[in-house]
Amino acid sequence: MKPYTEVIAGTEMKFDLLPIPGGVFEMGSPATESKRGDDEGPVHRVKIAPFWMGKYEVSWDEYYEYALSLDIKRKEEEKIDLTTLPPTEKAADAVTRPTPPYADMTFGFGRRGQPAICMTHHAAIEYCRWLSAKTGKTYRLPTEAEWEYACRAGTKTAYSFGDDPSMLGDYAWFVENGEKPQPVGKKKPNPWGLYDMHGNVAEWCVDLYAADIYTKFAKQGEVDRPVLLPTGKEYPYVARGGSWDDDPEKLRAAARRPSNLDYSIRDPQRPQSIWWHTDAQFVGFRVVRPLDEQENLKGFRSPVVKGKGTR
């Protein structure tokens, strides 16, 4: 496993991925950690398989290629011979696209280099399906355990740089320095080279949220790649890392955030739209590519997460 750059075929978009080694870590926060949440314990041992993770959060530039491009229809208008297209192009065209939003989902924060925001958990998963079809590789959202493991990058402190929140300004955009989402990758990375794991935008994980899931996992000893898979419910799902609009404690590596109905209070498309959270200007996502899932590309139709500890 080495770092690499993925080029999205048929576009000018590309993004960087970094290898995350497999291993075992202690997930959650100890009772002594300042301003911890009750849902962050007990601390339990978790085994993680190796994967690649996006060096940066998914940007609007990348997301727009999925949400607003017409793929096959555009190629027909450009008189491109469709018989010459690879199967990946046809597969990507078959993935469902978001309904056009009534509002400007960038909310005036800008697009170029900015993290994509306001998409629902469903929309983030569909982007991963499209990206998998487009590239011929299996991409998906990280599990909650994978996300925390990558964020900690071998550390056991509240943040990947230590326990002192006064240092956050060097690593993160948050309520004290970030009046809005900022272009990705402008602060210091964590020890594994990942940017904006603390702050900027909170990041969707695959998992449904359950406040007591750690208690159940802790009883099993070492848990192998745990995940609470989606069931089709709209809420609550887990977002991690905190955002530009959050206080320091919400940016801790162990901090958990469940989505709720407040994310779409002002959504003029409800209940029709399953794509946009107009009141979640603080949420985005990044992608992972697990090493052991690459031979099962059919799995991109649903999150593929293997392991004895799945739930």
Report if residue 307 sits inside a domain: no
Question: Does the pLDDT of residue 296 top 50, yes or no?
Answer: no
Report if residue 100 sits inside a domain: yes
The pLDDT value recorded for residue 9 is 82
> Which residues, in sequence order, are bridge partners of residue 14?
7
CA distance 144 to 141: 9
pLDDT tens per residue, range 73-104: 555 556 666 566 666 666 676 677 787 777 78
Report the relative pairing of strands 202-208 and 283-284 from DSSP bridges.
Answer: parallel
The pLDDT value recorded for residue 186 is 97
Which range is least confidently modeled, 56-60, 101-105, 305-309?
A: 305-309
Report if residue 308 sits inside a domain: no
Q: Could you say which DSSP state residue 311 is in?
A: -
Question: Does the pLDDT of residue 300 top 60, yes or no?
Answer: no
pTM of model > 0.95? no
Number of structural domains found in the chain: 1
Does residue 262 contact residue 106 with C-beta atoms inside 8 Å? no
In the 3-class helix/strand/coil scheme, how is 91-150 assigned residue by residue?
HHHCCCCCCCCCCCCCCCCCCCCCECCCECHHHHHHHHHHHHHHHCCCCECCCHHHHHHH
Does residue 45 contact residue 222 with C-beta atoms inside 8 Å? yes
Report if residue 287 sits inside a domain: yes
Report if residue 206 sits inside a domain: yes
pLDDT tens per residue, range 8-53: 887 889 999 999 999 999 999 999 999 999 999 999 999 999 999 9
CATH number of residue 135's parent domain: 3.90.1580.10
Report if residue 132 sits inside a domain: yes
Q: Which domain holds residue 82?
A: 4-301
Report if residue 310 sits inside a domain: no
Report if residue 148 sits inside a domain: yes
- Phi/psi zone of residue 82: left (φ > 0), alpha (ψ -120 to 50 degrees), beta? alpha
Cβ within 8 Å of residue 84, ≥6 positions away:
none
- Residue with the two structure tokens 């750059």: 5
The DSSP result for 172-190, as a single string, is: ---TTT-SS---TT-S---
End-to-end CA distance of the chain: 28
